[in-house]
Amino acid sequence: MSLRARLQSALWMIPLAVLAILFLPTPYMAGLMALVVLGGLHEWAGLAGVSGHSKKLLYVFANAVVIAALAWTDTPDNTGMKSAVLLGALFCLVSLAWLRHYTFAREQNLRNTAIKLVAGSLSCIPAWAALVLLHGGDDGPTWTLFAIGMIAASDSGAYLFGVNFGKRKLAPNISPGKSWEGFWGGLFTTTAFALLCMPLFDGGFADAWRFAVLALATALFSVSGDLFESLLKRHAQVKDSSSLIPGHGGMLDRLDSIVTGLTVFTLAKFWLAL
């Protein structure tokens, strides 16, 4: 992909995302995130082996119904949203096993397509619920930007350490470009970013371990999300989920690490009482 095209796309995507997170009320942010997630699920359907625009739209519509049901029937204590996030986090663990057994569901058939479609819903809908919970909580926009920044730190750190020091392949059968050096570098930069941002949340020295655990969990599962989408693309024998965003590929190519990272971040934040 052209570096110039990537930079040009980033110059408008990043400011728009930041402005939306900072200034949109949570219901509007939830609606915007729903559109983004559903766009990613449309591409996921193609990677899963669904052919035909109408069939992809049917899958998107089914997920839209689930999202709408969560939004309209949730209780004041957000039981439905929290349950969705927990379910998504459990699927993150399942996806780790899937990455280990990377040939699972590789053949294109109806059963494997169905499995991958369910996987798409279990990945993306919990991420939407996580954003709603995060953005709607105390200091929600700040925490949401912190989560996205942490995932970006993981991606950037992995890239920089991988390019400069990468020798040992992390997952050669899934994403040959990733290295163990990049993986550890991503964990390091994410943890450093989290600790540097502690003052924004009135965090003291005693809270450092909580922010470090939050960073490590988020970084680990953002990498797994990236690898999982790479696995789907390798099964489908395509380079990108689509050509929607110049220099970046498709919507799903931008969401891969965010969907898992955001889900785990939100769950870990509540568990760590941050």
pLDDT at residue number 1: 47
pLDDT at residue number 98: 96
Q: Which residues contact 224 (CB under 8 A, 6 or more apart)?
A: 92, 95, 96, 99, 260
Query: Residue 176, Cβ neighbours under 10 Å: how many?
Result: 12
**Which string of DSSP letters, residue by residue, matches 184-197?**
HHHHHHHHHHHHHH
Q: Kindly report the backbone phi and psi dihedral angles of residue 133, in degrees, each rounded to the nearest multiple of 5, phi listed first.
A: -65, -45
Half-sphere exposure (CA, 13 Å, Cβ side) for 126?
Answer: 27
Give residue 176's domain range: 3-271
Note the pLDDT tens digit of each residue in 137-186.
999 999 999 999 999 999 889 989 998 998 999 999 999 889 999 999 99
pLDDT band at 202 (very low <50, low <70, confident <90, very high): confident
- 229 with 43: CB under 8 angstroms? no
Average pLDDT, the chain: 90
Q: Is the per-residue pLDDT at 230 higher than 60? A: yes
Beta bridge partners of 69: none
Exposed, middle or buried by CB within 10 Å (0-12, 13-18, 19+), for 43?
A: buried
Q: Is the per-residue pLDDT at 11 higher than 80? A: no
User: Residue 212: which of 152, 148, 272 has the closest Cα?
Assistant: 272
Q: Which has more pLDDT, 244 or 238? A: 238
State mean pLDDT over 202-212. 88
Half-sphere exposure (CA, 13 Å, Cβ side) for 136?
Answer: 18
The total number of structural domains in the chain stands at 1
pLDDT band at 7 (very low <50, low <70, confident <90, very high): low
Largest CA distance in the chain: 55
Q: Which has more pLDDT, 8 or 187? A: 187
